[in-house]
Amino acid sequence: ENLTKLIQLCREHYADASILILTPPPVVHSQRLEYQKKRYGDQATGQLERNMTLSKKYAQAALEVASEQKLPSVYLWQLMQDAGDHWETFFYDGLHFSAEGQDFVAQAVLGGIRQAYPDLAVTPDPATGQWANSGTTCP
Protein backbone atom coordinates (compact mmCIF):
# COMPACT_ATOMS: atom_id res chain seq x y z
CA GLU A 1 0.00 0.00 0.00
CA ASN A 2 2.80 2.45 0.89
CA LEU A 3 4.74 1.73 -2.29
CA THR A 4 1.61 2.25 -4.38
CA LYS A 5 1.06 5.61 -2.68
CA LEU A 6 4.66 6.65 -3.35
CA ILE A 7 4.30 5.73 -7.01
CA GLN A 8 1.05 7.69 -7.25
CA LEU A 9 2.72 10.73 -5.66
CA CYS A 10 5.63 10.51 -8.10
CA ARG A 11 3.27 10.26 -11.04
CA GLU A 12 1.15 13.12 -9.74
CA HIS A 13 4.01 15.52 -9.08
CA TYR A 14 6.55 14.30 -11.65
CA ALA A 15 4.50 13.06 -14.58
CA ASP A 16 7.56 12.57 -16.80
CA ALA A 17 9.57 10.63 -14.22
CA SER A 18 10.91 7.22 -15.18
CA ILE A 19 10.30 4.94 -12.22
CA LEU A 20 12.28 1.78 -11.50
CA ILE A 21 11.22 -0.35 -8.53
CA LEU A 22 14.08 -1.85 -6.54
CA THR A 23 13.15 -4.65 -4.15
CA PRO A 24 14.59 -4.90 -0.66
CA PRO A 25 17.77 -6.97 -0.42
CA PRO A 26 18.15 -10.23 1.49
CA VAL A 27 19.29 -10.26 5.12
CA VAL A 28 22.32 -12.07 6.54
CA HIS A 29 21.11 -13.53 9.85
CA SER A 30 24.54 -14.35 11.29
CA GLN A 31 25.81 -10.81 10.62
CA ARG A 32 22.69 -9.25 12.14
CA LEU A 33 23.09 -11.27 15.34
CA GLU A 34 26.81 -10.48 15.53
CA TYR A 35 26.12 -6.78 15.03
CA GLN A 36 23.48 -6.90 17.74
CA LYS A 37 25.97 -8.47 20.19
CA LYS A 38 28.61 -5.90 19.30
CA ARG A 39 26.26 -2.96 19.65
CA TYR A 40 24.20 -4.02 22.69
CA GLY A 41 26.50 -6.45 24.48
CA ASP A 42 24.67 -8.27 27.29
CA GLN A 43 21.50 -6.41 26.36
CA ALA A 44 21.34 -8.09 22.92
CA THR A 45 18.08 -9.99 22.57
CA GLY A 46 19.29 -12.59 20.08
CA GLN A 47 16.05 -11.93 18.19
CA LEU A 48 16.26 -10.82 14.57
CA GLU A 49 14.44 -7.57 13.87
CA ARG A 50 14.83 -8.27 10.13
CA ASN A 51 15.00 -11.68 8.53
CA MET A 52 14.99 -13.49 5.20
CA THR A 53 11.33 -14.49 5.42
CA LEU A 54 10.15 -10.91 5.89
CA SER A 55 12.61 -9.43 3.40
CA LYS A 56 11.45 -11.95 0.77
CA LYS A 57 7.81 -11.11 1.53
CA TYR A 58 8.52 -7.39 1.04
CA ALA A 59 10.53 -8.08 -2.12
CA GLN A 60 7.68 -10.11 -3.60
CA ALA A 61 5.19 -7.40 -2.64
CA ALA A 62 7.37 -4.80 -4.41
CA LEU A 63 7.46 -6.97 -7.55
CA GLU A 64 3.68 -7.35 -7.40
CA VAL A 65 3.18 -3.58 -7.11
CA ALA A 66 5.59 -3.00 -9.98
CA SER A 67 3.60 -5.43 -12.12
CA GLU A 68 0.25 -3.88 -11.14
CA GLN A 69 1.58 -0.41 -11.88
CA LYS A 70 3.23 -1.59 -15.12
CA LEU A 71 6.67 -0.51 -13.94
CA PRO A 72 10.06 -2.14 -14.45
CA SER A 73 11.75 -3.63 -11.42
CA VAL A 74 15.06 -4.99 -10.18
CA TYR A 75 14.68 -8.10 -8.01
CA LEU A 76 17.62 -7.28 -5.78
CA TRP A 77 16.62 -9.88 -3.18
CA GLN A 78 17.21 -12.69 -5.66
CA LEU A 79 19.99 -11.12 -7.73
CA MET A 80 22.26 -10.80 -4.72
CA GLN A 81 21.82 -14.42 -3.71
CA ASP A 82 22.32 -15.56 -7.29
CA ALA A 83 25.73 -13.85 -7.28
CA GLY A 84 27.23 -16.93 -5.60
CA ASP A 85 28.42 -18.07 -2.21
CA HIS A 86 30.06 -14.71 -1.50
CA TRP A 87 26.79 -12.70 -1.53
CA GLU A 88 27.00 -12.19 2.23
CA THR A 89 30.02 -9.93 1.67
CA PHE A 90 27.61 -7.40 0.15
CA PHE A 91 26.71 -6.43 3.74
CA TYR A 92 28.74 -5.24 6.70
CA ASP A 93 26.11 -5.89 9.38
CA GLY A 94 23.68 -8.19 7.61
CA LEU A 95 21.43 -5.31 6.55
CA HIS A 96 23.47 -2.36 5.28
CA PHE A 97 25.63 -2.56 2.19
CA SER A 98 29.40 -2.87 2.25
CA ALA A 99 31.41 -1.15 -0.48
CA GLU A 100 31.15 -4.35 -2.53
CA GLY A 101 27.39 -4.41 -1.95
CA GLN A 102 27.06 -0.78 -3.01
CA ASP A 103 28.89 -1.58 -6.24
CA PHE A 104 26.62 -4.58 -6.83
CA VAL A 105 23.47 -2.50 -6.28
CA ALA A 106 24.78 0.26 -8.55
CA GLN A 107 25.40 -2.26 -11.35
CA ALA A 108 21.96 -3.80 -10.82
CA VAL A 109 20.27 -0.38 -10.99
CA LEU A 110 22.27 0.63 -14.06
CA GLY A 111 21.28 -2.67 -15.69
CA GLY A 112 17.65 -2.02 -14.85
CA ILE A 113 17.87 1.46 -16.35
CA ARG A 114 19.59 0.14 -19.49
CA GLN A 115 16.86 -2.46 -19.93
CA ALA A 116 13.80 -0.35 -19.08
CA TYR A 117 14.93 3.14 -20.04
CA PRO A 118 17.78 2.83 -22.55
CA ASP A 119 17.61 6.54 -23.37
CA LEU A 120 18.61 7.26 -19.75
CA ALA A 121 21.43 4.73 -19.56
CA VAL A 122 24.76 6.04 -18.34
CA THR A 123 28.00 4.72 -19.79
CA PRO A 124 31.56 5.34 -18.70
CA ASP A 125 33.56 7.89 -20.62
CA PRO A 126 35.37 6.05 -23.43
CA ALA A 127 38.56 8.06 -22.91
CA THR A 128 38.85 7.71 -19.11
CA GLY A 129 36.68 4.69 -18.33
CA GLN A 130 35.21 6.73 -15.47
CA TRP A 131 31.50 6.86 -14.66
CA ALA A 132 31.91 10.37 -13.25
CA ASN A 133 32.76 11.52 -16.78
CA SER A 134 29.85 9.88 -18.53
CA GLY A 135 30.29 9.05 -22.17
CA THR A 136 26.53 9.37 -22.56
CA THR A 137 25.23 11.98 -24.95
CA CYS A 138 21.99 13.89 -24.61
CA PRO A 139 19.36 13.42 -27.32
Neighbour-count burial for 18-57, b at 16+ CB within 10 Å, e otherwise: ebbbbbbbbbbeebbbebbeeeeeeeeeeebebeeeebbe
Q: Which has more confidence, 79 or 42? A: 79
Cβ neighbours, 10 Å, residue 131: 14
Under the banding of pLDDT at 50, 70 and 90, the label for residue 80 is very high
What would the pLDDT profile of 27-78 be if each residue is shown by its tens digit? 999 998 898 888 888 888 888 888 999 999 999 999 999 999 999 999 999 9
- Within 13 A of 22's CA, how many CA atoms are on the CB side? 14
- Write a three-state SS string for 42-72: HHCCCCCCCCHHHHHHHHHHHHHHHHHCCCC
